[in-house]
Amino acid sequence: MHKPNKTRLRKNIISSREFVRGKKTDYFRLHIKTFSSLLDLYSSILNEGKKEEIKITSDGLVLHKELYEKSRTYLINLANQINASYEHNIFDGCAVLMRRLFEILLIHSYENKQLSSLIKDSSGNYKMLVDIVNNAKTNTQLGLSRNTRESLDEFRELGNFSAHKIYFNAKKNDIDRIILNYRACIEELLYISEIRK
């Protein structure tokens, strides 16, 4: 930008209603109304990078709030997103989030039982969910109920289909068909992982 003419700039500032005189000679500040309007105008830029806090509201149709409300923050946020996506007919999103919560709690259950080495590869990374599920179905030390062991593949497959199948879209019936077993499984894993006592 070119260097402004100081005399003209001073004259324009003095005559403008957008500025008020400062405490010293030739000092000026923005009028509060001007300052407020600029804040409104550029709020999206000014708020960039600040911590975003989003309130997710739901009625708890997939997972009852009492089940998870006293657990860890990231699990509460995930459960709220599951409920909200179901209640707003975002069934693919709901299925993927359900799979994610199920996987996290299954891993936490292994960790709590000091069995995590059974589901890690030689580099120390967790194996694919299919391998973890296969181990969980036969692992007596983990202590899953028979009903949960029989349902594990259903939760995994629905989430996988919603995430990876190009022509697949989850429907309300797909979620409704597994909700009861899913809720029971999540509650069981919350107790096995000792996140809930």
Nearest residue to 187 (alpha-carbon basis) of 150, 156, 145: 145
One pLDDT digit (tens) per residue for the chain, 197 residues:
678 888 888 888 888 888 888 888 888 888 888 877 877 777 767 666 555 556 676 778 899 999 998 899 999 999 999 999 999 999 999 999 999 999 999 999 999 999 999 999 999 999 999 999 999 999 999 999 999 999 999 999 999 999 999 999 999 999 999 999 999 999 999 999 999 88
Q: Is residue 52 part of a domain?
A: no
Q: Is residue 51 part of a domain?
A: no
Q: Are 31 and 104 found together in one domain? A: no
Q: Are 172 and 84 found together in one domain? A: yes
Q: Are 23 and 91 found together in one domain? A: no
Q: Are 156 and 71 found together in one domain? A: yes
Sign of CA dihedral 62, 68, 69, 74: negative
pTM of the model: 0.71
Residues linked to residue 20 through DSSP beta bridges, in sequence order: 29
Sign of CA dihedral 50, 51, 55, 60: positive
Q: Are 73 and 105 found together in one domain? A: yes
Q: Are 28 and 103 found together in one domain? A: no
